[in-house]
Amino acid sequence: MKVRRWTGSAWKSAMALALVLLGVTGCTSDNRQADSGETEITVLLDWYPNAVHTFLYAAQELGYYEEAGLKVNLQTPADTNDALKLVATGKADLALSYQMQVALSRSEGIPIVSVGAVVRHPLNQLLVLDSNEIQSPKDLVGKKIGYPSIPLDEAIVNTMVESDGGDPSKLTYTDVGWDLIPAMTTKKVDAIIGGYVNHEKLLLEKEGENITAFDPSKFGVPDYYELVLTASEEGIQSNGDAIKNFIEASAKGQAYTASHPEEALQLLLNKQSEDFPLDAEVEKQSLAILLPLMDAGDQPFASQTEQSWKSVIDWLTEQGQLKNEVKAAEAFRNL
């Protein structure tokens, strides 16, 4: 799980968008019709538009949402916590978030439900500076691990190290906030958790660093869905057909992206914000990493399994992360 936060002008721009969003989406999309007669849906992204959102922009630009009778507004909130709260309170219809964050939110009584698995495997991986001294997670004992002060990130690394035969009580964590990349390039830390293999790893490599990534799912952490599409329980009841239509149209966008990655990515790049400019080459590499991790195989795009949710909830419970019981069958829906 990665809860993205902002600094400086980027934070101000994102917050301005969130405030605008609060002003224009004061109700759910139940019975809300655009002037064209389409059902209007507001979708909150998990971060600024980047390669992982290509399928959304492809579906929008190629007319798949329009064909489904939808007018889709893609918005950027200040951070993921804002997105879930906006959806839970009916200020937005859907939000991209994280499987573990959904479980944590439900344990706090927030009526959020996952309606689709977008990225089916972990992106938040343990990134280490290539060194003969660090061949696997257990070798981090005695090294410095940078993290953004998120207890769940600590739990992930502790599990990885213990699974690898190391002693997690001997690990040293350094809170670097979201300055994950500078912490590595200045050698302030030997490793980071909270960075994505399709983003921070690529940016570090572009700066000349040799980076090794350790996948949490190979070291005791459940193979969780990194990115999921969420709705509120009330929203599913009142607007389930529109949400289902959105997912089906998005699946067409993903199919186009998988078969035409360069053309689909260009549709995203054409829509990038001046406040959050993209590096086209990095995004191209990112999409190449993402596509296999988004592939549901012989199952429909965005499909979910109860076993995945049970494994994640059981692990979170073992780690003491959940305030109250969460039932796997109630945390997701396959519409």
Checking DSSP bridges between strand 94-97 and strand 227-232, what pairing results, if any? Answer: antiparallel
- pLDDT above 60: residue 6: no
Rounded-to-integer distance, Cα 312 and Cα 306, Å: 10
Q: H or E element: which one contains 126?
A: strand 126-129
* Cβ neighbourhood burial of 135 (10 Å; 0-12, 13-18, 19+): exposed
Residue 34 is predicted with a pLDDT of: 59
Q: Check: CB of residue 237 under 8 Å from CB of residue 177.
A: no
Show the tokens assigned to 116: 């689709």
- pLDDT above 50: residue 12: no
Could you report the per-residue pLDDT of 74-110, keeping only the tens digit for each?
998 776 668 999 999 999 999 999 999 999 999 999 9
Indicate the SS3 state at residue 10.
helix
17-21, 42-46, 186-190, 330-334: which range is least confident on average?
17-21
Neighbours of 37 (CB within 10 A): 8
- 222 Cβ contact partners less than 8 Å away, ≥ 6 residues apart: 308, 311, 312, 314, 315
Phi, psi of 296 (to 5 degrees): -90, 10
Confidence of residue 18 (pLDDT cuts 50, 70, 90): very low
One DSSP character per residue, 97-116 reads E-HHHHHHHHHTT--EEEEE
- pLDDT above 60: residue 56: yes
Rounded-to-integer distance, Cα 95 and Cα 84, Å: 7
Rounded-to-integer distance, Cα 33 and Cα 38, Å: 6
From residue 78, alpha-carbon distances to 25, 51, 332 in Å are 15, 19, 25
How many CA atoms lie less than 13 Å away from 222 in the CB half-sphere? 20
Comparing CA positions, the residue from 122, 76, 74, 62 lying closest to residue 98 is 122
Q: Which residue has the tokens 């964590």?
A: 173
Q: H or E element: which one contains 70?
A: strand 70-75
Buried b (16+ CB within 10 A) or exposed e, 53-64: bbbbbbbbbbeb
Percent of all residues in the chain with a pLDDT value above 70, rounded to a whole number:
88
